[in-house]
Every structure is written in C-alpha cells, then in structure tokens.
C-alpha cells in the first residue's frame, strides 16, 4: 500500500478528491485536477473535487489519457487510489472516442460513424439513438444524415457513449477583424490578458477537427467577452452572438465597436425591437424562443439557418433554453463557443451543453484571478432580521407557498438596507431583489432610482450611465441585475430577496461587484430569521463558502 503523507491529495472511494491549499505543491495539483475533476468547494484550507463521467469525458476530449491521469494522480496522493475509483476512470474515460463521427468520403449530406471495435459497434448499436439514426453505408460502414449530427451526439451521451466529433466545420462568410490592442477603453488601458489568450488557444486547438467548439468557464468580471472577441478574431468569419437580454445586446455592441476593428456597418442586432442581420449579429435567447402560442412554431429560429455563419457565441451558456438546444443540434457545422461563470444548470442539462456546444475547454477558479488582481476580493455577509410579533403570527398561519414570499418581503428589511446604505455612503451600491412591491418601497424610502424588467430601455441605459459616472450612487434593481449588467464601479451589493436556493443567481449577483478595485467588495444578503427564506439562504450561503468566499452572519434583534 502506497503511503506518502507529504503529498497534498487524498482520493476517496466515492470519487471525491481532497486537496490541501497550504501545500507547496498546491498550484501544481490544482491545475492538474482541474483537467479531469469538477471543483465542488474551495474554502481556505481544503478544496474538494469530484470525479464524474462528464468530467472524465471532458478530460478525454482535451487529450488527457487514462494512464497520464492515474500516474500523475498517484504522484500527488497520500494513499493508494481506491480500486473502485481506478475502475471508474478505466470504464469511463476509455469510452470517449470509441464512437467517432467523421466526414463522409463520398456524400457531404451524410457523416460516417466509426466504431473502435466490432464489440463496440455491437454494443453501441443496441442503444435507441443508434438504432433510430444509423443507416447502412454499403456492406461494412455506417452513416447518419449530416443534419442529425447534434441529435446523435446528444442521444449517445445519454446512453454513456460520448462521441468524438472529427467531422470539422463548414466555412462561413469571411470577416477580417482584430482586437484594438493597447488602446484606451473608457479611459483605461486595454489589452488581452494571458489567461484569455490561453482560453482561446485551448478552445481553437490549432484548428484541428476536434477543436473550435466548447465552453470556457471564467468568473464574473474576468473578461469572457474579450475571450469571445479573441475567438472571433481567430476564426475571422461571420458570427452570431446569443445572449440573455436587451441590456446584454447593447453591451455586446458597445464592446465590439470599442475594442475591435468592426464598424457599425458590420454589427447588427436581432431583438424584439430591431431585426438587422449583419456580419456580426447579436441576438437574445428570448427572441429566438418566442412563439405565438405553446403549439405554434418558433418564428425566429430561421436566423440560424438563413445566413452563412462561421461561428456561434453562446453568452451565459448555462442559461441556454431548450428550443435553442434544438437549433444548436441542427447547427453542428458551425464553430461554437460557450462562455459562462458557472456550468451549474438547475435542470441538470450540463451533458447537453457538452454534446451540443462542446466540451469544457478552459476553467480558471476565481481564487487564482483574485490573487493576480484580475477580480476583486469579496467579503460576504448574511444579516438575519426577525419578524414582528404580528408578522410572525401571519407567517405561521400561511401555507408553504406564501411563507417564502412573506419572509422575503419582511418590512423590517427596509431599516437594515437603509443602515447599510448609510454605512456605504461613499460606495457604489446595488440593491437587488425579486419582488417589485418591496423594491418600489425601498427606492421610495432611499430616494434612489428603480430599474425593473418594464423600465424602458432608454431610461434603463440612462440610469446605468449615471451610476457608472457617479451621478447616482445607489441603484435599486430587480432580477435584471442577475445577468449582463456592466457596472464595473459597483463595489457593494445588497440582496433583499432571491429565487429560493438558486446557485446560478447567487454567483451572478455576486459577480456584479467582482471587477478589480482598490478595496474589497461587499456582498450582503438580508434574510428573515427562522423562516423558509433562511432555509434557502443556507443553500446559497453553502454554495458561496464552498467556492471559498469569506462569509459571516449577523443576527438582528427586533
């Protein structure tokens, strides 16, 4: 039995991997583990990873072999790797690439399906996906229709046969462009950072057939938009960019015109108010998934097919709606880049992102970027307030569905928020919540502007600009703050209500204040003590502490 207590890693039989953060080999081990295991929690002293089928298939897609993983892991562990984990690695990682897709030598309307061995062919063909989609190609070979490329990969992954896609990509219309390096952007020097360049290099893989599709995971504030523009400059072809809302569309257009050589004549938007397809077109998920009724067709998915795109960019890829998954399944001939701060999906469809957008190509923890000064240090606080006696009686008499909202809208939260705003009178404060009545009351009491989903776009942009310039020091915002708000000077966020225990929402709201600053950022969550809201807040709090954020709790007395 191997025992080397001087090493930094312990592998458990359930697939968990523990890493000591204070160890001299921490950086080496962290970088290695990130290649084949998912980071689950990262508090100060001990990081926890988990080896999963999807993480191993991501590793295999990036070129990591079973032998390299096992040999290197043995050199880092304190004790022998449990046999059950070795068996899992063997059985899982070796399945990647046993089924391959490649160009058909004779007919471009088909793709050839290649099986590693006759046994693999026999086993894989028993799956529903294979039996439905495979066609005989002569006496020996198998093929699928080219349009079924994504569906085939998606269904085969569900059967634990991850397909290696070597069919390459069709070339879109050309678009010469580059980033404006060493220019001034908003009065600050601009240039691509080393990790942004590395992320694109990993994604592109020197133009090999297996490259050019996949996901880059970077913390909020780390410059995922720059990564996307670097990828566009690498491909040099017409590009469709998909994002979450109108605000994100405007930010994309602003960034493209500010930081690349693209002109206004080359950048268009396809939204509810404007449908202008240009060499680079920015579109919202909402427009693509709009239809007149639940039984009607999606009227705008044709935008995928009506233009010779060379590349698709999925902003906040973890939000990808099911209908867009379907369109993505059809568009496997385009290069695809997904960017996100977290691949966590509350619906568990990370596997669809893997098969339809591509495997995870790059993932950099926020701690690394914080130490290098690329994202802000963040301090997290939970402030628990009681109910008044009358409100507590009403709460106890309410049904389960009412209790969460009653706790979220606890009137005593208003006093706490007012105190926090006074404490941070010299800071730039975002107050974020879910329930409009509560937000309207806060905005009135604080004399601060309110931005909701119904705020006219022009007014919304005016207020965001006032906040950026310092004319407004406090903004009250609804769930529109969860995504795609570029407010780099915000350094305090006060969350007064949220969507149950959503990890996505917690990460995104914290991300609003993670742009690098001279002082630590402060993230407050105000919850009602001893309530349904506190139960859900504990899940959100656990997510943040597991990611390594410092978290403290304060109890207020009524």
Q: Are residues 390 and 455 in the same domain?
A: yes
**Residue 74's pLDDT band (boundaries 50, 70, 90)?**
very high
Q: Are residues 526 and 397 in the same domain?
A: yes
Q: SS3 string of 501-552? A: CCHHHHHHHHHCCCCCCCCCEEEEEEEECCCHHHHHHHHHHHHHHHCCCEEE
In a domain, 146, yes or no: yes
In a domain, 381, yes or no: yes
CATH at residue 519 = 3.40.50.300
Looking at residue 185, what is its pLDDT? Answer: 45
Q: Are residues 411 and 280 in the same domain?
A: no
Q: Are residues 359 and 383 in the same domain?
A: no
Number of domains in the chain: 4
Q: Are residues 147 and 76 in the same domain?
A: no
For residue range 172-196, list pLDDT tens digits in order: 999 999 998 754 444 444 678 899 9
For residue range 374-403, list pLDDT tens digits in order: 776 778 888 999 998 888 888 888 887 788
Q: Are residues 437 and 357 in the same domain?
A: no
In a domain, 30, yes or no: yes
Looking at residue 85, what is its pLDDT? Answer: 94
Q: Are residues 142 and 270 in the same domain?
A: no
Looking at residue 187, what is its pLDDT? Answer: 44
Q: Are residues 325 and 363 in the same domain?
A: yes
Q: Are residues 339 and 431 in the same domain?
A: no
Of the three residues 47, 76, 93, the one that is the final residue of a domain is 93
Strands 335-340 vs 311-315: parallel, antiparallel or unpaired:
parallel
> Is pLDDT larger for residue 491 or for residue 283?
283
In a domain, 432, yes or no: yes
Measuring CA to CA, how many Å separate 225 from each of 196, 228, 313? 10, 5, 10
In a domain, 3, yes or no: no
Q: SS3 string of 411-480? A: CCHHHHHHHHHHHCCCCCEEEECCCHHHHHHHHHHHCCCEECCCCCHHHHHHHHHHHHHCCCCEEEECHH
The dihedral sign for the CA sequence 281, 286, 288, 291 = negative
Of the three residues 334, 367, 400, the one that is the final residue of a domain is 367
Q: Are residues 39 and 105 in the same domain?
A: no
* pTM, two decimal places: 0.75
In a domain, 124, yes or no: yes
In a domain, 324, yes or no: yes
What DSSP line would sit under 277-288, residue for residue?
--SEEEEEHHHH
- Output Rg (C-alpha) for the chain, integer angstroms: 25
Backbone angles phi and psi of 136, in degrees to 5 = -70, 140
Looking at residue 184, what is its pLDDT? Answer: 46
Q: Are residues 354 and 418 in the same domain?
A: no
In a domain, 174, yes or no: no
Q: Are residues 383 and 473 in the same domain?
A: yes
**Residue 483's pLDDT band (boundaries 50, 70, 90)?**
low
With residue 327 as reference, give the H or E element that holds it. helix 322-330
Of the three residues 136, 165, 194, the one that is the final residue of a domain is 165
Domain that holds residue 411: 376-555
């Amino acid at each position: 039995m191997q025992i080397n207590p001087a090493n930094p890693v312990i592998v458990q039989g359930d697939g968990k991997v523990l890493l000591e953060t204070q160890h001299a080999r921490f950086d080496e081990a962290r970088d290695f583990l990130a290649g084949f295991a998912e980071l689950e929690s990262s508090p100060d002293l001990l990081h926890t990873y988990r080896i999963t089928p999807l993480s191993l298939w991501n590793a295999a897609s990036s070129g990591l072999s079973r032998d390299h993983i096992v040999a290197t892991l043995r050199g880092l562990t304190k004790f022998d790797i449990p046999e059950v984990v070795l068996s899992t690695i063997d059985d899982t990682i070796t399945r990647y690439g046993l089924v391959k897709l490649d160009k058909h030598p004779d007919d471009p309307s088909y793709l050839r399906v290649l099986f590693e061995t006759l046994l693999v062919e026999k086993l894989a063909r028993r799956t529903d996906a294979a039996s439905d989609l495979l066609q005989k190609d002569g006496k020996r070979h198998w093929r699928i229709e080219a349009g079924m490329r994504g569906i085939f990969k998606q269904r085969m992954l569900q059967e634990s046969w991850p397909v290696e896609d070597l069919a390459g990509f069709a070339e879109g219309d050309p678009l010469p462009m580059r980033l404006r390096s060493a220019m001034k952007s908003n009065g600050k020097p601009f240039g691509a950072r080393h990790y942004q360049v590395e992320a694109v290099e990993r994604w592109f893989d020197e133009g090999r057939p297996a490259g050019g599709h996949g996901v880059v995971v970077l913390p909020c504030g780390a410059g995922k938009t720059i990564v996307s523009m670097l990828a566009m400059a690498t491909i040099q072809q017409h590009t469709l960019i998909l994002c979450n809302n109108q605000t994100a569309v405007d930010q994309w257009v602003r960034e493209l015109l500010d930081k690349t050589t693209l002109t206004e004549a080359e950048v268009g938007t396809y939204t509810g108010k404007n449908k202008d397809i240009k060499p680079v077109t920015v579109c919202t998920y909402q427009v693509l998934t709009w239809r007149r009724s639940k039984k009607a067709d999606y009227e705008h998915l044709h935008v995928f097919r009506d233009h010779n795109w060379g590349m698709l960019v999925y902003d906040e890829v973890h939000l990808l709606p099911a209908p867009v998954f379907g369109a993505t399944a059809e568009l496997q001939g385009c290069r695809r880049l997904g960017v996100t701060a977290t691949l966590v999906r509350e619906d568990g469809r990370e596997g669809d992102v893997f098969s339809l957008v591509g495997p995870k190509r790059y993932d950099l923890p926020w701690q690394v970027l914080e130490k290098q000064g690329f994202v802000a240090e963040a301090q997290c606080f939970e402030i628990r307030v009681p109910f008044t006696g009358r409100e507590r009686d009403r709460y106890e008499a309410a049904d389960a569905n009412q209790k969460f909202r009653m706790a979220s809208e606890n009137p005593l939260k208003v006093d706490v928020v007012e105190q926090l705003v006074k404490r941070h009178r010299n800071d730039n404060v975002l107050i974020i919540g879910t329930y409009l009545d509560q937000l309207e009351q806060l905005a009135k009491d604080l004399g601060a502007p309110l931005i909701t989903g119904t705020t006219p776009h022009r007014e919304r942009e005016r207020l965001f600009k006032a906040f950026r310039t310092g004319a407004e020091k406090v903004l009250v915002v609804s769930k529109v703050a969860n995504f795609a708000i570029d407010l780099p000077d915000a350094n305090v966020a006060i969350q007064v209500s949220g969507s149950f225990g959503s990890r996505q929402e917690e990460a995104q709201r914290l991300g609003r204040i993670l742009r690098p600053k001279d002082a630590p950022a402060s993230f407050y969550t105000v919850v009602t003590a001893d309530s349904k809201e506190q139960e859900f807040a504990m899940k959100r709090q656990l997510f943040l502490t597991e990611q390594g954020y410092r978290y403290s709790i304060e109890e207020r007395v009524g």
